[in-house]
Amino acid sequence: MVIIGFSCATSKPLVRLVCGHFKHCAIITKNKNKFVLHQFVRPCKVVQIPITQRGIAQLSSHSWVFIYMDIPCNINTCHWTCVNFVKSAIGIKNIWIQTPNALYAYLKKQPA
């Protein structure tokens, strides 16, 4: 199981200008009964943060939106943006998806 989270907040000025509603995306993987948030920090730097169901609920109350998917996940840490990181992890090859908004729209169109 994979959970893809989208956030409306960022501290980066360029991202505020370029991206639409969603400014950042991250991926949460489930291993047995534990969750790990894979947070893209900078190019080729991904931090793994243990998170609980309560933590996911708190993120949801702070403007995060989640998409739950039942697909295999391949975490590779060397990417230039959070969107490229998530696309690679879930196996999307579409080059036109470059912003969190575009990724969110693409995933919402996919059949469950």
Mean pLDDT of each 10-residue bin along the chain, 112 residues long: 86 64 88 89 90 92 91 83 91 91 90 64
pLDDT at residue 18, rounded to an integer: 67
Which residues form the domain of 54? 2-109
Alpha helices for the chain (secondary structure H): 13-18, 53-61, 82-90, 100-109
pLDDT at residue 22, rounded to an integer: 86
For residue 88, give every residue at least 6 positions away whose Cβ sits within 8 Å of its Cβ, in sequence order, or none.
74, 76, 79
pLDDT at residue 11, rounded to an integer: 64
pLDDT at residue 16, rounded to an integer: 59
pLDDT at residue 1, rounded to an integer: 84
Based on the structure, what is the number of domains in the chain?
Answer: 1
